[in-house]
Amino acid sequence: MSATLPASPHPPPAPVETWTPPTTEIGALFPDGVVGERYRLLSQLGAGAHGYTCRARHELLNFECAVKLLRDPAAQADGPDARLAEARAAFRIRDPNVVRLLDCDRAGPYWYLVLEFVDGPDLLSLLERGRPPLPDVLHYFADAARGLRAIHERGLVHRDVKPANLLLGRDGRVRLTDLGVAALLDPHSGGAEGCAGTHEYAAPECFTPGTPPSAAADLYGLGATMLHLLTGAPPFASLGALGSLLGRHGAAPEWPDNDSSTPEWLRRLVLGLLAPDPDSRPASAAAVLSELARAGVERARESGGGGAVAEPAAARGIAMLGFASEGTGDGDDSWIGLALSDAVGRALARFPDSHIVDGQMVTELAERLGGPDADAALRRAAELSGAHVLVGGWVRRDADLIEVELHSARTDDGAIARAEPVCGHLTNLPGLTDQLLECAVRLLGLPEHAGAPGVARTLALEAHRHFALGKQAYQRGRLAEALDQAEAALALDPDYADPLQYAGAACARLGRYDDAERYHRRQESLAQARGDVRQAVEARANLGVMHYYRGAYAQAHEHCLRAAQTAESVGLKSELANIYSNLGFSLFQLGRLDEARGAFERAVHAHRSLGALVGRIGPTTGLGQVLQSQQRHDEAIDCFRRALALAEEAGDRINVGVSHMNIGRTAALAGRPEPARLELASALVMLSTTDFWNGLARVYEYIADLNLQCGDAPEALRCAQMRRELAERHGNERMQRSALEQEAQALDALGRGQQAAATRAQARAGSEGGRA
């Protein structure tokens, strides 16, 4: 994609924000507007009874953050306070629904806490505009419960759950903030004065002296917050001073008569959280999430799958993990578990409203997320991918006898269920698959009926083995090996359709486009002959991707459009999410920007309906590219920031770097060199830690352009040379020529005309050699 930079070599500088101290005391403490020698205060975000919240930027690392200045007259300046223990514990929490605490210290009578910056309003501000729609409240409810789950699993409590402490980011995610603040401000928290909190949202036991803070009190605050969002007022608000007294003395709140829109199951859940007796409330935040998911699914079934409340029905998202091998047979038996899990997953995908998530993708995402608890990381990765349950198992082989056991784990609370082991003969894998499918249907609570058509199979045992090993090789990026295995399977059974998909995809990525087309058309032909619409759609969509790689964008658009139309006609929601995204990128390359934007918006909506956060990164980026091409720079940057937030949550370093790159490029096109420089520097740092050399080269290209624009020719030359070195190292001749042209521009700007001419001649020679 090309875009024209502003003609002026010296565009007007971006406005510099200045910070005005809210009080003379704070001005004296931080005379230069810098806290802790590294956090430069930019503007005030808010003020409260205990202090101020400011937007800031780290002086060295160039990232935005929020600095909370909290006055604490009881604090002593002669040493660390015991209350810092809670701040230290809060620092260790890394959860997408909890605002990260980055730093904490004291300056005179003030604590300062450095927090993740969330660009968006709190829920109390939203309430000032009116009650949010019910689907939005359900989303906020689930996100807040996830945040509390993370806090409680660390053995901490929040102490002040209320709408003002729930922030809604531009990425649509709600985060709990001010974790640990109540402990810092109230040295008697849990002592003679009772537990901290805001009265309207505080549990009755919080008003009893000597009551320690508890997770149950946090859950009461969650219930009070949700009552406020659903009805427009916190508990007892309509009763004024009497209501406050009733709340303190443990009266049970009643649902307001003026609200008729909240479903009965949701009223029961919220009132359960508001039970005066802590032991009568749900046992944990995880239990609240389970109830939300269960009730949401029941409501979806009652309404026939429609209606606003049916959004939680994505509980059908299933992550299929490979079945672990515990074999005692000869050789590597891992392929048996891979083949069986793949076959069961394909069969489950044919049940209505099921969304099957690839287990390898979930496992890799869990590795990126990391953390001390591998199981928790795996559950979180499944959630981010749109799965609400993980299905795995083990396979034990004794000669030709096979024993398989399935188990499932819910992503919300980790609850595990196991099925009775299934036994069969190795030579009858299709029959064993049928038995396992019946087990999975019972384990997952799917409707037991014959409405789910079977999958394509082969009776050749060796073909099964080659296919399973080939798919594993493809997922791990070993394309030549994947192709060899697929071809070996097809040699044994030419009508075995499954290997055709991976053979075609491997050929497309290897640049063997004619072979890729042959494999995908064969897959489509076999699927049509069997009446397998799902696999025919997959084949047609893969043809579109192949033509996109080839640069044949009109043909890519044609195939993706046909795949989308067929998928829409038969309701293949899971497939549509990716097809819409691919359709958007082909339309973008054709310059049909409005149509591309519509396709990307449909892709984002489809992934959101599946609960798949990671799937939204690509189409959100695509939306930003469309807006950038339309010179709608602020909207484009907003899109790229949403993609950045999604990538950060998924631990996707490549897309974090790409998002910074896109923000920087757009800022440069808008004539804002300083923000552009900061974002491109962030992209360079991030992508330097990955193997995405092409993206790194693009960053060098954009930095060189920016430096030429700003008159820094020496730095432009250095970046162009770095780009050329990357291209040479990876054999990309087209990029080498482009980098040489950029070097020549920098040499001209330096007044080194002869060297510039020689560099251009070198670029032309490379072009002619390429044509020859």
- Identify the band that residue 384 occupies on the pLDDT scale cut at 50, 70 and 90: confident
For the ranges 156-160, 440-444, 555-559, 613-617, the maximum mean pLDDT occurs at 555-559
In contact, 649 and 659? CB cutoff 8 Å? no
Residue 216 is predicted with a pLDDT of 93
Residue 696 is predicted with a pLDDT of 92
Give the separation between CA 745 and CA 760, rounded to whole angstroms. Answer: 9
Instruction: Tell the residue number behind the tokens 């396992």, with chain if given.
Output: 436
Q: Which residues pair with 167 in a beta bridge?
A: 122, 175
Q: Which residues pair with 358 in a beta bridge?
A: 320
In contact, 307 and 259? CB cutoff 8 Å? no
Q: Which token pair is 100?
A: 């990260």
In contact, 568 and 539? CB cutoff 8 Å? no
In contact, 705 and 5? CB cutoff 8 Å? yes
Residue 77 is predicted with a pLDDT of 42
178 to 91, 112, 769: CA distances (angstroms): 12, 12, 63
Residue 299 is predicted with a pLDDT of 42
Count CB-CB contacts under 10 A for residue 362: 26
Cα angle 152-157-161, degrees, rounded to a multiple of 5: 110
Give the separation between CA 245 and CA 236, rounded to whole angstroms. Answer: 9
Mention every residue, 6+ apart, whose C-beta is less than 8 A from residue 384.
Answer: 365, 612, 613, 614, 649, 650
In contact, 724 and 740? CB cutoff 8 Å? yes
Instruction: Tell the residue number behind the tokens 């009965």, with chain if given.
Output: 264
Mean pLDDT confidence for 383-395: 89
In contact, 634 and 652? CB cutoff 8 Å? no
Residue 296 is predicted with a pLDDT of 53
- Identify the band that residue 190 occupies on the pLDDT scale cut at 50, 70 and 90: very low
Mean pLDDT confidence for 361-378: 81
Nearest to 86 by CA among 111, 67, 54: 111
Mention every residue, 6+ apart, whose C-beta is less than 8 A from residue 564.
Answer: 576, 579, 580, 583
Q: Which token pair is 243?
A: 């209501």
Mention every residue, 6+ apart, whose C-beta is less than 8 A from residue 725.
Answer: none
Residue 19 reports pLDDT greater than 90: no
Residue 420 reports pLDDT greater than 90: no
Give the separation between CA 206 and CA 141, rounded to whole angstroms. Answer: 22
> For strand 39-47 and strand 416-418, is the pairing parallel, antiparallel, or unpaired?
unpaired
Residue 415 is predicted with a pLDDT of 82
Residue 315 reports pLDDT greater than 60: no
- Identify the band that residue 9 occupies on the pLDDT scale cut at 50, 70 and 90: very low
135 to 139, 167, 273, 306, 615: CA distances (angstroms): 6, 17, 20, 12, 21
User: Which of 22-31, 217-226, 456-465 is least confident?
Assistant: 456-465
Residue 301 is predicted with a pLDDT of 37
Largest pairwise CA distance in the chain:
90
Nearest to 626 by CA among 666, 568, 681, 567: 666
Q: Report, in angstroms and rounded to the nearest whole number, the Rg of the chain calculated over CA atoms.
A: 29
Q: What is the pLDDT of residues 285-312, one digit of tens each?
A: 988 987 887 665 334 333 433 333 333 3
Nearest to 582 by CA among 562, 609, 610: 562
Nearest to 475 by CA among 392, 367, 360, 624: 360
In contact, 446 and 355? CB cutoff 8 Å? no
Give the separation between CA 123 and CA 165, rounded to whole angstroms. Answer: 8
For the ranges 289-303, 364-378, 675-689, the maximum mean pLDDT occurs at 675-689
Mention every residue, 6+ apart, whose C-beta is less than 8 A from residue 724.
Answer: 735, 736, 739, 740, 743
Amino acid identity for residue 325 in this structure: S
> For strand 389-398 and strand 401-410, is the pairing parallel, antiparallel, or unpaired?
antiparallel
Residue 325 is predicted with a pLDDT of 81
Q: What is the pLDDT of residues 57-93, one digit of tens each?
A: 888 777 789 998 887 655 444 444 545 666 676 777 8
By the 10 Å C-beta count (0-12 exposed, 13-18 middle, 19+ buried), 131 is classed as: middle
Residue 353 reports pLDDT greater than 80: no
In contact, 5 and 668? CB cutoff 8 Å? yes
Q: Which token pair is 559?
A: 């195939």
Mention every residue, 6+ apart, whose C-beta is less than 8 A from residue 464.
Answer: 335, 339, 429, 458, 489
In contact, 741 and 763? CB cutoff 8 Å? yes
- Identify the band that residue 108 occupies on the pLDDT scale cut at 50, 70 and 90: confident
State which H helix or E strand residue 355 sits in. Answer: strand 355-358
Residue 597 reports pLDDT greater than 90: yes
| Ramachandran region, residue 51 (left: φ > 0; alpha: ψ -120 to 50; beta: rest) | left
| Helix, strand, coil abundance in the chain, percent, nearest 5 | 60, 10, 30
Read out DSSP for 386-449?
A: T-SEEEEEEEEEETTEEEEEEEEEETTT--EEEPPPEEEEGGGHHHHHHHHHHHHHHHHT---S
User: Which of 122-131, 413-422, 671-680 is least confident?
Assistant: 413-422
Q: What is the pLDDT of residues 716-734, one digit of tens each?
A: 999 999 999 998 988 888 8
Q: How far apart are the first and last CA of the chain?
A: 26
Within 13 A of 312's CA, how many CA atoms are on the CB side? 26
Ordered by where they begin, the domains of the chain are 24-116 (3.30.200.20), 123-302 (1.10.510.10), 316-444 (3.40.50.10070)
Mean pLDDT confidence for 425-446: 86
> For strand 101-107 and strand 110-116, is the pairing parallel, antiparallel, or unpaired?
antiparallel
Give the separation between CA 52 and CA 40, rounded to whole angstroms. Answer: 15
Helices (H), 460-512: 461-475, 479-492, 498-510
In contact, 284 and 149? CB cutoff 8 Å? yes
Helix (H, G, I), strand (E, B) or coil at 68: strand
Amino acid identity for residue 257 in this structure: D
Average pLDDT, the chain: 82
Give the separation between CA 112 and CA 117, rounded to whole angstroms. Answer: 14
User: Which of 108-112, 177-181, 393-397, 641-645 is least confident?
Assistant: 177-181
Residue 84 is predicted with a pLDDT of 65
Q: Which residues of 91-111 are buried (b: 16+ CB within 10 A; e: fewer)?
A: bebebbbbbbbbbbebeeebb
**In the chain, how many H helices and how many E strands?**
29, 15
Q: What is the pLDDT of residues 461-497, one digit of tens each?
A: 888 889 888 888 888 778 899 999 999 999 999 888 8
Give the separation between CA 301 and CA 536, rounded to whole angstroms. Answer: 29
Residue 453 is predicted with a pLDDT of 46
In contact, 273 and 255? CB cutoff 8 Å? no
Helix (H, G, I), strand (E, B) or coil at 505: helix
Q: What is the pLDDT of residues 739-771, one digit of tens each?
A: 999 999 999 999 999 999 999 999 888 655 544
In contact, 368 and 651? CB cutoff 8 Å? yes
Helix (H, G, I), strand (E, B) or coil at 648: helix
In contact, 330 and 343? CB cutoff 8 Å? no
Nearest to 760 by CA among 742, 307, 150, 529: 742
